[in-house]
Structure 1
Amino acid sequence: MMTRTFVSLLALGACLLIAGPALAQTIPAGQRARVETLAQAPAARVLRDEAGRVRRAWGLGIPAAGVDATSRAREFLGRFGHELAMPADARLVPLSVHEAHGFTVVRFARHAHGGPVLGGTVVVRLRGERVDYVAAHRVAAPEARSPDARATRSIDEATAARLALAETQLERVLEAEAAALEQDGLLYPVWRVDVAGAHLHQRERVILSGDGALLARHPLSLDALGRVFPRDPTSDEDMTSDVELGFLTSRERLTGRYFRVESCNAGTRGCEPTQLATADAAGDFLFDPVEPAFDDAFAEVHTYHHANRAAAYFRDTHDFTWTCGGDSLMRVFVNYTEGPDVPYDNAAYSPSSGSDCGFMLFGQGASHDFSYDSDVVYHEFTHGIVDGIAGLGFFLVDALGVSYDPGAVNEGTADYFAATLSGDPFMAEYFMGASASGEGALRRLDNDLVCPDDLAGESHFDGRIWAGFGWEVREILGAEKTDALIFTTVASLEMIPSLAELAEVTMATADAMQAAGTLDADDRAVIQASLEGRGLVGCERVAPLDGGFTRIGFSGNGSLTSSAGGSIAPVHYRIDVPADATRLVITIESATFGEPDFLLHTRVGAPVRFVPSRTPPVVANGSLDPDARGRVVLTRETETPLARCETLYIAVVTENLRTVNAALYRIQATLEQSGLDESCEDPPTEEDASAPVVDAGVSADGGVTSPSGGGCGCRASGASPLPLGALGLFVTFLAFRRRRPR
């Protein structure tokens, strides 16, 4: 199966609220006869893929006819859909229409074989009656037809549901839906099945082929924060204020127009929701904090207040209200635990699926209650907002393997809006026991992190770069402009963006806001400088390993990276090898519990390439097994020789990833040099020769362009390793996740 098969899986994490089949419409073929091109727009900026297809264009200002935003978007696509390479019979289903900050964003999903194409998204943004921006992803492939055996479904919905339950060992089906998946340049029918278990956090998505073969599975819940180490409370923990609780629709319980807050009251079968907080004779909910406790009424009151504060901000500032099936009431569970008196050190937002609407849950940890920290409440609610405006996925697959960039965009956005609501750049000071200055906070947005130096491959860590960009710009332009920029950018994204694509859309949004008069030229320059300074423009997951720095990396999710990405860690590495290099020692060791078994693939002159049709599924010059000390040694005489005057690329594979589930690792390179005056222009000797580079081209399905240039000099990196506090937290989180019952 070609790489395109696995690239298509990148949409699995997207949770779409798909309109019914009756809304599907075929774009009239007659509208495609006109010969206008997007590039003819006076201020147009057009980005194309390797096949010449438009994947994103902005600065268009093209008038579109219609009675509303959706019809105008359709009319525009009818004229220019051929540039996006949409087949003439492509069916588009409207997903959402949102107006804010002077723009209207219309999102469509492409449908084929009776359901949505996984990842097939078209985004059209209008200003008034003119289209200023369009982006398309995975809309070009035609439907596969008979006699291809894969072009039909040989199992029905009930069988798909049964197979998904058997695969996950969960208990009930939330939704089973026909869908389509691109494989080898054609769209084939598949089944997408969402299933759930007894515990609220046990929700997974399973993708099955038309004949029932498992293609992929992954969790639906968005875990926002890792496990907390026991810390002393902050100095103002017991300081409370009496505030007005708005939007209540019940006189006795915490049920309102936008939220219903309940406690878990866990039994042997999991969470049994009940509302503990009841109004007193005066109609007030005045409870003192009790922590740790599994029956804490204060947690309900505190969460209700801060959830409503976040919801009011998004309504008032961005004109967006979270809804599910037309209902704006979200359920919130506090004092959450998996069993009686069993702490749950986490918090999560779980998106809507089928008839089950999205919800938030906040664990009662071993020593701290996650709902007590307003940053956590704001962060989780923002996940719900992002789900509503963009339906972002969790991962994508490209020529480097599985990437968690879409999750990083989601996590960074949630951190940014939590910080803008709190008014400071520190995340989760309370339950981390941080100081008032933010020292010891879980994450800080006043950072100087950059791509690729500070990439780890894990979404929370990598999201700090995007969140840091937002806070940096906010400090200069102010909250009003920056909040609008971040919100409109995210609303304009395709479902599975990379960090590089995020930067493109951010600049497209800045251009549109400047044209609308919301930003000026100086504002735009600030945004561009910050994006470039943080390496988000053209960001690739290949981090420098020069200079002796120790990098922290993430192995990837056990079931996902192992099945869809050849167990290759999300971040690759590169070392520029100078002419006088004599010895290179690469050391890798586990930074988590368990015993991950690492293997290093190397390639000279281009990144190691993921090709699923190969065995093993990589294009590389060599595969190196670290010794008992976790070391790989390369010299000019070793079987895989040290290639002087070249760039050496390294990919990390965790061979037992399914067993260890997930791991962090430390990797470092030490280069020894002779100090002799050796020239890169010297003809290579036999011992310098490396294995031939195979298949070094760029794939048309999202391949990675090889960075140019060799390496006659060491390229120093100014990156610093991940904070030890964050590392320790995530290590504990991984161990905790492995102990969860499935």
Structure 2
Amino acid sequence: MTGYIKINSLTNTQMKIISLIIFIAFFTLRSNILSANQEFPARNGEKPVILESITPDTPFVARNFAWASGTSNPYLSAVQFLQSFPEIVGVEDPHTDLEFESATRFDNHTVLKFNQTYKQIEVFGRGVIVKVDESGTVYYIASNAVQILDFPSEEPLIDSFEASLIALQSVPGIPVYSTSAKRFIFAEKDHSYPIWVFSIGTKNPLGSWLVLVNGISGEVINIAKRTFNATGRVFEQNPNNGGLIEPELLRLSGDGTRLNGQYATTYRYISEGNIQTAIPDSDGNFLYNPSSTQPDFEDPFVEVQSYYHVDRIVDYFVTTHGYTQTRGPLTVLTNYYQGSTSSPTPYDNAAYDGENWTLTIGQGSTADFGYDATIIYHEVGHSVIDSIAQLLIFGGDKYGMILMPGAIHEGVSDYFAASLLDDPNMNEYIYIGRNLQNDHKCPEDMIGEPHQDGLVVGGTLWDIRELLGKEISDRIVYRALFGLPQDTSFKILSNSVMDEIDQLITEGTLTEAEKTQVETIFQERGMDICDRFIDLKGAESYSTLLFGLSMMGESACDYISYAQALGLSMPTAFQWYIDVPEDATTLKIDFSLTLFSPGEEQHWLYLRKEEPVEFELVSIIPGLVLPLRVQKADKTFEMSNGFTLTPYTDPPVEPGKRYYVAISSLSCPMGRYTISGSTGNEPVEEPVVETEEEEPEVVVEEEADAVSVEELDAISENNEEEMGPPEKGDSGCGCKIAE
């Protein structure tokens, strides 16, 4: 039939090419359809705000637009929108490629979440978030859905048992549990395949891990740590902040003789199993005194302390924000230690285990972590964020290091703990804590440690709280979590907060002037531009951290030559990009570096046109997979202070193109680098290539071919026969010689 293609007659290569064309077309249309289509007026009289996807497999976010569905039913409105505009969503057929997950109803809008699927199998970590107001108008979408290009087989070649053995060997410590394998599709812009996903819990060290195993090759794709810790430096002496109170323990279950409640169940940890040692007195009260010695591995007071504070903060989220603890009461393990019951080792830490729905409160060397309410509130905050946003906490992917989802987890948990106590100082009872009254900015103060990076988030949110007050700020931050895709960034969080502020302006609760003040806070903190890819034209220059091998421990510095032989290096936290105008003739990148301590300086700048630089993930130690080997770049500049591209360099500058710059290091010490980018349109003369003057050609007569002695004798005899014997004075060659 003329004009049509029969799909099943195409080769695999042809099918991939057609899919790629469709994929690129969808990616291109995403960013302009909302601004160009007359069906999308601005919701609040301004233009829609669009965060364009840097690549087809990074999130696309749009807000403050208005699309009326004709129905007030939020689910039907969302479905109609998704089916009407698949090019915005990023999938070919939303009806078959998206599966409804949840709807969260607030007083005047509903947040709906959809998971991406492929042939009824969920695509790992990808989906769509839609917000619909009470009239049925769609005004917000966040999507990291991606086109499936290469039609993977649904059935893995590696079975679940073999994959589980691979997963168990990839994590540190002693496994104490492993969930059954879950099958997903793993999809990126240029490839997809089936995977097995495992959740594994360990002790010595304590941890919970999400392990992704390639269902075709059996390779470990990535590992995400599912424990969120509150670590720090322990005081030698423990300050006593505040006295003892005797509040009522609410929501106890059963006969109230054990600390089992609606929101929490507390235990004392022992290595052989968990027991409940806190029991009521004859009046039914749990009136224990704090332990007078530390460490105390048999302290019942901390069981009561932990129950009260977990119950208090969960009830705050439930009654104030409408939070639903769908997974039941949190299991709280107190007096946690490493080693055995007969020989316990203090555990200076506290952790939330997202897979096992558990809070673990360490019995520290000089203090019990359960005695600090901010630590308990912080860890419960992780459970709330995990229930709402399911942020993915991987160490890195093909575009480099991943810092911001973990930093958001820590910063928002800090914020709610501090807000509930009305105190910006975190964990000051246990150790030198984190203070949310700070001036941390992105990218300047990002160091690769989630608690410290979270100070940018926590400090920003505390600034907003001081501006708008606790009640409004808490509401904004809580609801903004529902707008975050799993692979989020500070920039996306900022936009989700601004979307909630727009909602409050619509209600008449906030003013445009207050909105402008919040925007200024985000700008001053760098939150509005802080993404994995940062535009170099957004500022005169940027300064941030250069990671060194010492980040992985000083002993890692002993293996520099080994890493160099393998082509490994440590990428920085961000990639940078710059758009070259159509009339540009030059592109200039300036780079400077200062190491924090003496050491050999080794760094590289990578350049790639139109697409970000890509790295290969390398497993270096159990439980840690990092992007340590550059895989796709157009040009590498070693030990460079920058470079300039012109029409005559290699590579030449191409007007109208976007260029990405990534940086990696193999230095032992860490350092700070400054980078800037600019373009120019001044005429550039083609460089004159100097050539050496040509030497005059010297003609050399060709030598006769060599002859043998026998041939010479034969020639001589012939000459004598023809010419006769030489005359006197004749040399025998026909020449006269002087007598």
TM-score normalised per structure 1: 0.70
TM-superposition CA deviations, 1:281-319 (whole Å, max 9, x none)? 100001111132111111111111111110111011111
SS where residue 360 of structure 1 aligns?
strand
Specify the alignment match of 1:471 in structure 2.
462
Specify the alignment match of 1:282 in structure 2.
283
1:125 aligns with 2:127: no
The within-5 A match list for 1:166-205 is 166-168=169-171, 170=175, 172-197=177-202, 201-205=206-210
SS where residue 323 of structure 1 aligns?
coil
CA distance in 2, matches of 1:415, 1:215: 32
Match of 1:507, as an amino acid?
M
Specify the alignment match of 2:379 in structure 1.
380
Specify the alignment match of 1:701 in structure 2.
none
The within-5 A match list for 1:211-610 is 211-236=216-241, 239-250=243-254, 251-267=256-272, 272-290=273-291, 291-324=294-327, 328-340=328-340, 341-352=344-355, 357-395=356-394, 400-432=399-431, 441-540=432-531, 553=547, 567-571=570-574, 586-589=594-597, 599-602=602-605, 610=613
Specify the alignment match of 1:623 in structure 2.
638
CA distance in 2, matches of 1:597, 1:618: 26
Q: Is the 8 A contact 2:204 2:339 kept in 1?
A: no
CA distance in 2, matches of 1:191, 1:683: 55
Q: Is the 8 A contact 2:440 2:525 kept in 1?
A: yes
Q: Is the 8 A contact 1:543 1:573 kept in 2?
A: yes
TM superposition shift of 1:601: 1.2
Match of 2:631, as an amino acid?
P
Q: Is the 8 A contact 1:370 1:376 kept in 2?
A: yes
Indicate which of 163, 169, 191 corresponds to 1:160.
163
CA distance in 2, matches of 1:519, 1:78: 34
CA distance in 1, matches of 2:496, 2:71: 26
Tell me, which stretches of 5 or more residues in structure 2 are unaligned?
A: 1-35, 554-562, 578-589, 617-627, 645-658, 688-739
SS where residue 262 of structure 2 aligns?
coil
Specify the alignment match of 1:690 in structure 2.
none
TM-superposition CA deviations, 1:436-464 (whole Å, max 9, x none)? xxxxx411111111112212132211211
Match of 2:339, as an amino acid?
G
Indicate which of 72, 94, 105 corresponds to 1:99.
105
The within-5 A match list for 1:610-689 is 610-612=613-615, 616-617=630-631, 619=633, 621-624=636-639, 651-654=663-666, 665-668=669-672
Between 129-138 and 252-261, report the one with greater CA deviation: 129-138
Q: Is the 8 A contact 2:61 2:492 kept in 1?
A: no
SS where residue 40 of structure 2 aligns?
helix
Between 208-217 and 378-387, report the one with greater CA deviation: 208-217
Pair 557,155 (structure 1): closer, same or farther in 2 beyond 3 Å: farther
SS where residue 430 of structure 1 aligns?
coil
Specify the alignment match of 2:25 in structure 1.
none
CA distance in 1, matches of 2:274, 2:493: 39
TM superposition shift of 1:555: 6.4
SS where residue 360 of structure 2 aligns?
strand
TM superposition shift of 1:158: 2.9
Q: Is the 8 A contact 1:101 1:484 kept in 2?
A: no
TM superposition shift of 1:482: 0.7
Pair 634,52 (structure 1): closer, same or farther in 2 beyond 3 Å: closer
CA distance in 1, matches of 2:485, 2:150: 24
CA distance in 2, matches of 1:315, 1:533: 33
TM-score normalised per structure 2: 0.70
Match of 2:127, as an amino acid?
T
Identity of aligned residues (%): 24
Q: Is the 8 A contact 1:174 1:193 kept in 2?
A: yes
Specify the alignment match of 2:23 in structure 1.
none
TM-superposition CA deviations, 1:574-632 (whole Å, max 9, x none)? 9xxxxxxx997742549xxxxx99741135899996323796436353334xxxxxxx9
TM superposition shift of 1:87: 1.1
Q: Is the 8 A contact 1:573 1:650 kept in 2?
A: yes
Q: Is the 8 A contact 2:548 2:666 kept in 1?
A: no
CA distance in 2, matches of 1:376, 1:242: 20
CA distance in 1, matches of 2:685, 2:433: 50
Q: Is the 8 A contact 2:426 2:434 kept in 1?
A: yes
TM-superposition CA deviations, 1:337-360 (whole Å, max 9, x none)? 1223211111111113xxxx4111
SS where residue 96 of structure 1 aligns?
strand
Tell me, which stretches of 5 or more residues in structure 1 are unaligned?
A: 1-34, 433-440, 575-581, 591-595, 625-631, 637-646, 656-662, 672-678, 687-742
CA distance in 2, matches of 1:174, 1:366: 32
TM-superposition CA deviations, 1:549-576 (whole Å, max 9, x none)? 99585769969xx99x9642325799xx
TM superposition shift of 1:45: 1.1
Pair 231,572 (structure 1): closer, same or farther in 2 beyond 3 Å: farther
SS where residue 334 of structure 1 aligns?
strand
* Two-structure CA RMSD over aligned residues (Å): 4.4
TM superposition shift of 1:129: 3.7
Structure number with the bigger relative contact order (C-alpha 8 A, sep ≥ 6) is: 1
TM superposition shift of 1:221: 2.9
CA distance in 2, matches of 1:670, 1:413: 29
* Bigger Cα Rg: 2
CA distance in 2, matches of 1:37, 1:52: 25
Pair 184,49 (structure 1): closer, same or farther in 2 beyond 3 Å: closer
CA distance in 1, matches of 2:527, 2:543: 21
Pair 510,648 (structure 1): closer, same or farther in 2 beyond 3 Å: closer
Pair 573,472 (structure 1): closer, same or farther in 2 beyond 3 Å: same
Specify the alignment match of 2:80 in structure 1.
75
SS where residue 429 of structure 1 aligns?
coil
Match of 1:285, as an amino acid?
F
Q: Is the 8 A contact 2:377 2:416 kept in 1?
A: yes
Q: Is the 8 A contact 2:545 2:572 kept in 1?
A: no
TM superposition shift of 1:203: 2.2
Match of 1:617, as an amino acid?
Q
Q: Is the 8 A contact 2:613 2:660 kept in 1?
A: no
TM superposition shift of 1:390: 1.1
Q: Is the 8 A contact 1:135 1:494 kept in 2?
A: no
Specify the alignment match of 2:712 in structure 1.
none
CA distance in 2, matches of 1:548, 1:179: 39
Q: Is the 8 A contact 1:189 1:209 kept in 2?
A: yes
Aligned positions, number: 588
CA distance in 2, matches of 1:73, 1:457: 37
Q: Is the 8 A contact 1:108 1:123 kept in 2?
A: yes
CA distance in 2, matches of 1:573, 1:61: 32
CA distance in 2, matches of 1:122, 1:600: 39
Pair 537,183 (structure 1): closer, same or farther in 2 beyond 3 Å: closer
Pair 366,476 (structure 1): closer, same or farther in 2 beyond 3 Å: same
TM superposition shift of 1:654: 4.9
Q: Is the 8 A contact 1:396 1:402 kept in 2?
A: yes
